[in-house]
Amino acid sequence: MTQELIFLEPVFHQKIWGGRMLESDFGYQIPDGPIGECWAISAHQSGDCKVAKGRFAGMHLSELWSTHRELFGKLASDQFPLLIKILAADDDLSIQVHPDDTYAAQHENGSLGKCECWYVLHAKPGATIVVGQNASSREEFARAVNKSKWGELLNIIPVKTGDFFQINPGTVHAIRGGTLILETQQSSDVTYRVYDYNRRQADGSLRELHLQQSLDVIDYKQQAPTNGTITAIEKNGVTRLVSCDCYTVDRVRVEDTTRLMAHWPFLCMSVIEGSGKVNGQLVARGDHFIAPAGIDVLELTGSMELICSYPPAD
């Protein structure tokens, strides 16, 4: 079994709310236009990353998943379970919500639902974010939408660099302009837009809204957060940000040397600050890679910060 880290080439997506932040901040070579998303570790059909170098260079991650399942702890799922993105918002994203697995399987051609979480890489001074809403029922939410009472309906909170938010299915949410976020999510591209500010696309059309689906999936009993401050204790450089049925996500800070003992089927790793080495291989800010099954110990050296995630074992 390979002891190589699996480095991936990002896939970039143009978005109406995007800009050039992925170029100016991360130094990525991105296409022309307003680029909003970097799909950094993905086997999804809408953005299937290629292996950048090594034994499997040139293969798509979906192909690697299909033909070399031993690299991923022989998980039984028929699709690679996670999708790691960087979202670079020059403007506000739509007000939106995602379904859970059951609803998506029934209404979105067998797709996974979309559970996700956000680690805030940068937020301009005074930036805000939407996480949660204030209606207690489908009927109350629909009335507020019909009357455009967005200020009363939405839970708008300040956001700062280093914040973290877990966005469960059914959570109304929106990233707002001036934020740069690393997102860990299920491998799904199902989004229901509640509101999009009546803005027009390049061809003059409005983007599609999905109010009925949104009303179906919103969790009206959910308690909205008041901030995204991380309260978990850092231990040996590792802070557990979240662990749920879909993924576990850690922040790993390295000063000199940090050792991680494998307890995952495989590990997705994104360098968000600094540079160093992982098992002797050079890595730097903006690199995204997978530590496959069979690597029992990861030795991280240098001065850097990473977001690391993995799915539950079968």
The residues annotated as belonging to the active site are 193
Q: Is 18 helix (H, G, I), strand (E, B) or coil?
A: strand
Residue 288, Cβ density class (10 Å: 0-12 exposed, 13-18 middle, ≥19 buried):
buried
Q: Name the residue among 49, 109, 114 with its Cα closest to residue 290.
A: 49
The answer to whether residues 251 and 273 touch, using CB atoms and an 8 Å cutoff, is no
Rounded to whole angstroms, the Cα distance separating 77 from 67 reads 13
Q: How many beta carbons lie within 10 A of that of residue 159, not counting itself? A: 25
Q: Look up residue 225 and give its amino acid.
A: P
Rounded to whole angstroms, the Cα distance separating 148 from 129 reads 18
**∠56-62-67 over CA atoms, to 5°?**
60
Rounded to whole angstroms, the Cα distance separating 179 from 192 reads 21
Q: Which residues contact 170 (CB under 8 A, 6 or more apart)?
A: 97, 98, 99, 100, 217, 218, 219, 222
**Beta strands in 159-225, from DSSP E residues, in sequence order:** 164-167, 173-174, 179-186, 192-195
Q: Which residues contact 113 (CB under 8 A, 6 or more apart)?
A: 98, 99, 100, 101, 102, 103, 104, 105, 169, 186, 188, 190
